[in-house]
């Protein structure tokens, strides 16, 4: 997941809080870089104490990193020959491909087979793969759901959330009345568009024709996804020329005249902070799919754990990854932080929390952005956003999709 941008080493180690016996020099140190706010201090304390009890020859040095600038820092650590860098690194799931290049990550394919990778969420597991080899091990996930006003649904006579896209359109059309927007959907919310495109069998870019990666917004499937986005977005007053952060959609929802937004469940906290009166009126449901049998596809953000090839503590690093991503501690993290666990079979662990349960249901259909190291450059240039705006303001979808696809191809080829 490209989450804010990536950091600088904040040298906050947890070794001093792990209950080691002073002077215990026989332990080998495993240095772990984890990102700020990925796990609570209490979780890390509990994990460290248990891990060190179970691995008498190892001690953990967990160093918390900031997201800003982390990309360059990770690249430098992977290229270093000093042997004093991190042994385990948390990275955004969609960032793994750029770090795999140059044989800089440990191949964990055999380990992944033992760790049950067939049960992993595809949106976390697939970006961590390259040519069937597994380099990134899924840790936790987060994805979009529909946040809705239960009272407005009830007032409109809607007794249950919609389960198909066509029902969603019908319900939203019914809700879009008077001062109330049926849905607030910004015109350039391209992550939400990606889910609709995936549902139709399309993609943002592909390499299926053997000629390298190319933009794929102009395929019939992708155009169908854009058409659904257009129909849904028209049932509210979301700005066609900006994304969900301009203005922040949580603030728009908090004003009290919006029935639905598509967002991660955590945005409900921001809504309630701005309008406490909505606390008991907010509900969640998975983004509906084409049929009632499964939710719609969604972009899965989150983190994988990787082991640099230049580690001097290979076995210790693998032991840390196995423990953190195993069922016991992954479930603990999900409950502590309201994440989706890394395995589909663990979804029941968060079933008691409505927003997280809706997120977990969607995560089973989760996807990630195209698994090419150059995709970050596409996002920086992002021809998808103006394409969406042009379609929503009346331009010919096929023409604009071809133009945007050519630009995506140009960016990928320029850097590839």
DSSP H or E stretch at residue 284: strand 282-285
CB contact at 8 A, 320 and 391: no
Percent of the chain scoring above 90 in pLDDT: 84
pLDDT band at 209 (very low <50, low <70, confident <90, very high): low
Q: Is the pLDDT at 8 greater than 90, yes or no?
A: no
The larger pLDDT score, comparing residue 196 to residue 103, is at: 196
- For the segment 255-273, the average pLDDT, to the nearest whole number, is 95
- For the segment 265-273, the average pLDDT, to the nearest whole number, is 93
Q: Is the pLDDT at 97 greater than 80, yes or no?
A: yes
pLDDT band at 26 (very low <50, low <70, confident <90, very high): confident
Strand ranges (DSSP E) for 125-180?
129-130, 133-134, 137-143, 145-149
In three-state secondary structure terms, 215 is strand
CB contact at 8 A, 300 and 368: yes
**Alpha helices in 275-415, H assignment, sequence order:** 314-325, 327-337, 354-363, 375-381, 384-392, 397-415
pLDDT tens-digit readout, 149-194: 999 999 999 999 999 999 999 999 999 999 999 999 999 999 999 9
**Token pair listed for 333:** 């993290």
Angle between helices 190-199 and 384-392 (to 10 degrees): 80
pLDDT of res. 415: 53
Q: Is the pLDDT at 4 greater than 50, yes or no?
A: no
Q: Is the pLDDT at 416 greater than 60, yes or no?
A: no
pLDDT band at 382 (very low <50, low <70, confident <90, very high): very high
- Residue labelled with tokens 């598509």: 262
In three-state secondary structure terms, 4 is coil
Rg over CA atoms, the chain? 22
The larger pLDDT score, comparing residue 6 to residue 295, is at: 295
pLDDT band at 275 (very low <50, low <70, confident <90, very high): very high
pLDDT band at 12 (very low <50, low <70, confident <90, very high): very low
CB contact at 8 A, 121 and 141: yes
Q: Is the pLDDT at 19 greater than 60, yes or no?
A: no
pLDDT tens-digit readout, 311-322: 999 999 999 999
CA distance 261 to 406: 31
Burial, 18: exposed, middle or buried (Cβ in 10 Å; 0-12, 13-18, 19+)?
A: buried
- For the segment 17-26, the average pLDDT, to the nearest whole number, is 50
| Range among 18-27, 202-211, 397-406 rated most confident | 397-406
pLDDT of res. 84: 82
CA distance 277 to 256: 9
The larger pLDDT score, comparing residue 415 to residue 371, is at: 371
Q: Is the pLDDT at 21 greater than 90, yes or no?
A: no
pLDDT of res. 14: 47
DSSP H or E stretch at residue 298: strand 298-306
pLDDT of res. 5: 30
CB contact at 8 A, 370 and 384: no
CB contact at 8 A, 213 and 409: yes
pLDDT tens-digit readout, 333-375: 999 998 999 999 999 999 999 999 999 999 999 999 998 889 9
pLDDT of res. 53: 97
pLDDT of res. 25: 66
pLDDT band at 331 (very low <50, low <70, confident <90, very high): very high
Q: Is the pLDDT at 1 greater than 60, yes or no?
A: no
**Omega within 30 of 0 (cis) for the link into 10:** no
CA distance 334 to 345: 13
pLDDT tens-digit readout, 36-66: 999 999 999 999 999 999 999 999 999 999 9
- Residue labelled with tokens 């999709």: 401
């Amino acid at each position: 997941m490209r989450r804010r941008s990536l950091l600088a080493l904040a040298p906050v180690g947890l070794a001093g809080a792990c209950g080691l016996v002073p002077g215990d020099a026989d332990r080998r140190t495993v240095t772990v870089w984890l990102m700020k706010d990925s796990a609570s201090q209490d979780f890390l304390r509990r994990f460290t104490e248990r891990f060190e009890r179970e691995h008498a020859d190892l001690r953990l040095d967990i160093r918390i990193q900031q997201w800003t600038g982390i990309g360059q820092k990770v690249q430098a650590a992977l290229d270093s020959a000093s042997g004093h860098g991190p042994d385990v690194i948390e990275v955004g799931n969609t960032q793994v491909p750029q770090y795999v290049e140059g044989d800089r990550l440990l191949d964990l394919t055999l380990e992944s087979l033992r760790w049950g990778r067939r049960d992993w969420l595809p949106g976390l597991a697939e970006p961590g793969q390259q040519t069937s080899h597994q380099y990134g091990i899924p840790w936790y996930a987060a994805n979009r759901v529909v946040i809705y006003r239960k009272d407005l649904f009830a007032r409109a006579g809607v007794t249950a959330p919609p389960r198909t896209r066509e029902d969603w359109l019908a319900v939203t059309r019914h809700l879009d009345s008077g001062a109330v927007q049926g849905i607030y959907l910004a015109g350039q919310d391209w992550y939400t568009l990606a889910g609709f495109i995936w549902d139709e069998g399309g993609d943002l870019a592909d390499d299926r024709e053997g000629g390298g990666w190319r933009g794929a917004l102009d395929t019939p499937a992708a155009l169908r996804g854009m058409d659904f986005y257009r129909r849904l977005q028209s049932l509210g007053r979301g700005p066609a020329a900006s994304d969900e952060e301009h203005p922040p959609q949580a603030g728009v929802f908090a004003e009290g005249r919006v029935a639905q937004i598509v967002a991660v469940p955590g945005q409900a906290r921001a809504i309630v902070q701005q309008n406490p009166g909505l606390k008991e009126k907010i509900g969640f449901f998975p983004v509906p799919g084409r049929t009632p049998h499964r939710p719609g596809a969604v972009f899965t953000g989150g983190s994988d754990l990787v082991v640099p090839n230049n580690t001097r503590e290979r076995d210790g690093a693998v032991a840390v990854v196995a423990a953190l991503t195993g069922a016991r501690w992954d479930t603990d993290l999900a409950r502590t932080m309201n994440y989706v666990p890394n395995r589909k079979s663990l979804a029941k662990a968060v079933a008691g929390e409505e927003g997280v349960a809706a997120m977990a249901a969607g995560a089973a259909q989760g996807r990630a952005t195209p698994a090419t190291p150059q995709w970050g450059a596409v996002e920086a240039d992002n021809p998808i956003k103006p394409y969406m705006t042009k379609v929503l303001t009346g331009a010919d979808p096929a023409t604009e999709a071809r133009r945007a696809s050519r630009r995506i191809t140009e960016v990928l080829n320029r850097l590839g």
